[in-house]
């Protein structure tokens, strides 16, 4: 019996999509362990087949899917808790601890690990994979078509120089999903243009020396101070005449349909439809 389950889990891990297409019945007790996985599961699955999602997705500050998560069991991602839910599919992120994954694999629970998508193509691929595992291929294809349409409607030629600036001076350089989001909404990314690859530090001095037109920052809660956020209030930044655009965390963190909202915010800052500034 155990061998059979191991075989099944191997099947899901390696040839997931093929197995799903091979006529296996759609999972009925899906558990998702990570915010971005939650969003895809909530966007694609039939709600009655979802057993549990992570507690983060139920927070309206963290996700646009908080309403959809209403009434569902919320988990904190521990192996013990997941096992007690008797899932027939667990969807998790690459950052789910190795230890948790091993426990689930040892119990023969089918596991789908989602990588962090680094481009829109990867986002669409991921939606397709999750839809296949859920037995909702049609819903997946429909969602992808709808997203493509919405994204194309927001595309404009490059007209501004933009820079994403996170606490502690981190930025999204070339080869990130955010870099592509900037390109679509009309920004030349200053970080990628200066050779920054991936998510990396970009010193305040370099921002001042090569100032962008628009500084894109994560919307911060003013009442939660940290040294990391102080960099954004530094006088050197205030001296440069930058337009600041705040994007809420939930609109650009996941490769889910929520990123369309992030694109709209980026676009409205350059498109001049509505002024978004600090």
Question: Is residue 139 involved in binding other proteins (CB under 8 A)?
Answer: no
277 near other proteins, judged by CB under 8 A: no
**Selected binder of other proteins within 236, 273, 277, 278 (CB under 8 A):** 236
- Asked if 246 is part of the footprint of other proteins (rule: CB under 8 A), the reply reads no
d(CA 253, CA 34): 12
Task: Note whether 167 binds other proteins by CB under 8 A.
Answer: yes
Closer residue to other proteins, CB minimum distance, 1 or 209: 209
DSSP per-residue string spanning 164-227: EEBGGGEEE-BTSHHHHHHHHTTEEEHHHHTT-BSEEE--HHHHHHS--SEEEEE---TTS--H
240 binds other proteins (CB under 8 A): yes
Interatomic CA distance for residues 28 and 13, integer angstroms: 18
Q: Which one of residues 59, 81, 88, 229 is an interface residue with other proteins (CB under 8 A)?
A: 229
Rule CB under 8 A: which of 170-209 touch other proteins? Answer: 201, 203-206, 208-209
Sign, CA torsion 13/97/260/123: negative
Q: How far is CA 130 from CA 45, 73, 145, in A?
A: 9, 20, 15
Rule CB under 8 A: say whether 223 interacts with other proteins. yes
Please report whether residue 211 would count as binding other proteins according to CB under 8 A.
Answer: yes
Check: CB of residue 38 under 8 Å from CB of residue 92. Answer: no
Residue number with CB closer to other proteins (10 or 199): 199
Binding piece for other proteins, criterion CB under 8 A, among 13-21, 96-104, 222-230, 257-265? 222-230
Sequence-ordered list of residues with C-beta below 8 angstroms from that of 128, at least 6 positions apart, any chain? 17, 137, 140, 141, 144
Q: Is 73 in the site for other proteins (CB under 8 A)?
A: no
Nearest residue (CB) to other proteins, 102 versus 240: 240
Q: Which residues bind other proteins (CB under 8 A)?
A: 167-169, 201, 203-206, 208-211, 221-231, 234-236, 239-240
């Amino acid at each position: 019996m155990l061998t059979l389950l191991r075989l099944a889990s191997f099947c899901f891990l390696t040839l997931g999509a093929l197995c799903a297409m091979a006529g296996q019945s759609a999972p009925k007790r899906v558990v998702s362990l990570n915010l971005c996985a939650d969003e895809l599961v909530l966007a694609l699955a039939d709600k009655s087949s979802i057993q549990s999602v992570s507690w983060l997705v139920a927070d309206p500050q963290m996700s646009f899917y908080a309403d959809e998560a209403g009434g569902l069991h919320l988990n904190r991602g521990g192996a013990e808790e997941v096992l007690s839910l008797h899932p027939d599919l667990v969807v998790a992120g690459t950052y789910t601890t190795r230890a948790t994954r091993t426990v689930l694999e040892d119990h023969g629970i089918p596991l789908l690990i989602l990588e962090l998508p680094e481009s829109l193509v990867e986002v669409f691929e991921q939606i397709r994979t999750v839809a296949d595992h859920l037995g909702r291929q049609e819903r997946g294809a429909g969602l992808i078509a709808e997203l493509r349409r919405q994204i194309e409607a927001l595309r404009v030629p490059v007209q501004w120089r933009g820079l994403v600036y996170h606490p502690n001076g981190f930025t999204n350089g070339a080869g990130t999903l955010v870099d592509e989001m900037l390109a679509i909404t009309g920004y030349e990314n200053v970080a990628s243009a200066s050779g920054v690859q991936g998510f990396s530090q970009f010193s305040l001095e370099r921002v001042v020396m090569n100032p962008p037109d628009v500084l894109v920052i994560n919307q911060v809660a003013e009442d939660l101070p940290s040294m990391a956020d102080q960099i954004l209030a530094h006088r050197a930044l205030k001296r440069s005449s930058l337009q600041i655009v705040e994007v809420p965390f939930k609109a650009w963190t996941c490769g889910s349909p929520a990123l369309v909202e992030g694109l709209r915010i980026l676009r409205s800052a350059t498109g001049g439809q509505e002024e978004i500034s600090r």
